[in-house]
């Protein structure tokens, strides 16, 4: 709950910085807060040497679905300035599991068939700079908009294994900065209803990272909207002895202001 308060404060500060300039600078502003039900799958290892060192998020670590906060701020700027899209996506899981064979994590060999506690954190923060296809929104009377740009993602990773009965523990913290391509499309058949899709992604060497978002927005009253959708992330990264091949997916809901 304390972390949720921090993200809400950050959103408030961002909004306060942006709103005073809207009268003479911004064409549009979209600010929302929501919750994403994250279903984890895939594998994790740290300094692993053989296949049995890979830890399955569901079967070995026993991670369940988690509901986490989502915060977005999207600003459309005038003239030739790039538009700005900020997003914060906290992500963390904890569980008590065990593995039927000995396994290595962080240079420590953990005992088979003995319970261990674990924690995985993959908080990430996005900053995208983008442009719409020129005149498309005007030509379609505001019913269609397509945009492209570059996205910078910061990932705060932490993976910890602790086996109390054996006295073994290993942990790894890592901060990654990932450049990604951003693309978005918005279809608005009527003013109170719209369908949106976004993709952020990159693939290089043996690494890849793709984030897909689809949402439906309904505006029950002017300026205010509610939204629901689905989000899926696939992460395959091998950096600093950390090897992850994971997927996180699930539905989300949002409420926000748009003008």
Among residues 166, 43, 174, the alpha carbon closest in space to that of 108 is found at 166
Contact 143, 101 (CB under 8 A): no
Dihedral sign, Cα of residue 30, residue 35, residue 40, residue 46: positive
How many separate domains does the chain show?
1
* pLDDT tens sequence for the chain (259 residues): 445 444 544 544 444 444 444 444 457 899 999 999 999 999 999 999 899 999 999 999 999 999 999 999 999 998 789 999 999 999 999 999 999 999 999 999 999 999 999 999 999 999 999 999 999 999 999 999 999 999 999 999 999 999 999 999 999 999 999 999 999 999 999 999 999 999 999 998 889 999 999 999 999 999 999 999 999 999 999 999 999 999 999 999 999 999 8
CATH, residue 218 = 2.40.128
Contact 34, 247 (CB under 8 A): no
- Parent domain of 100: 2-258
Contact 227, 193 (CB under 8 A): no
- Phi, psi (rounded to 5 degrees) for 217: -115, 135
**Which runs of E-coded beta strand occur in 51-192?**
55-56, 66-76, 83-89, 92-97, 103-105, 108-110, 116-132, 144-163, 168-190
Among residues 40, 150, 134, the alpha carbon closest in space to that of 84 is found at 150
Report pTM.
Answer: 0.88
């Amino acid at each position: 709950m304390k972390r949720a308060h921090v993200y809400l404060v950050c959103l408030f500060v961002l909004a306060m910085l942006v709103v005073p300039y809207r009268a003479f600078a911004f064409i549009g502003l979209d600010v929302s807060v929501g919750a994403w039900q994250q279903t984890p799958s895939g594998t994790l290892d740290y300094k692993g040497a053989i296949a049995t060192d890979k830890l399955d998020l569901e079967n070995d670590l026993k991670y369940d679905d988690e509901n986490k906060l989502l915060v977005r701020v999207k600003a459309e700027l005038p003239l030739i300035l790039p538009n700005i899209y900020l997003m914060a996506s906290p992500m963390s899981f904890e569980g008590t599991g065990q593995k039927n064979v000995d396994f290595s994590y962080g240079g420590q060999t953990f005992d088979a068939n003995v319970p261990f506690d674990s924690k995985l954190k993959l908080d990430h923060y996005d900053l995208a700079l983008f442009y719409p296809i020129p005149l498309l929104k005007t030509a379609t009377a505001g019913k269609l908009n397509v945009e492209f740009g570059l996205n910078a993602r910061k990932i705060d990773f932490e993976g910890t294994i602790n086996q109390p009965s054996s006295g073994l523990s290993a942990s790894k913290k890592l901060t990654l900065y990932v450049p990604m391509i951003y693309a978005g499309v918005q279809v608005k058949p009527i003013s109170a209803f719209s369908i949106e899709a976004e993709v952020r992604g990159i693939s290089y060497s043996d690494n890849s990272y793709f984030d897909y978002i689809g949402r439906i927005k309904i505006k029950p009253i002017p300026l205010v909207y509610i939204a629901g959708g689905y989000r899926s992330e696939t992460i395959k990264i091998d950096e600093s002895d950390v090897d992850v091949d994971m997927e996180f997916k699930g539905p989300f809901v949002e409420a926000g202001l748009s003008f």
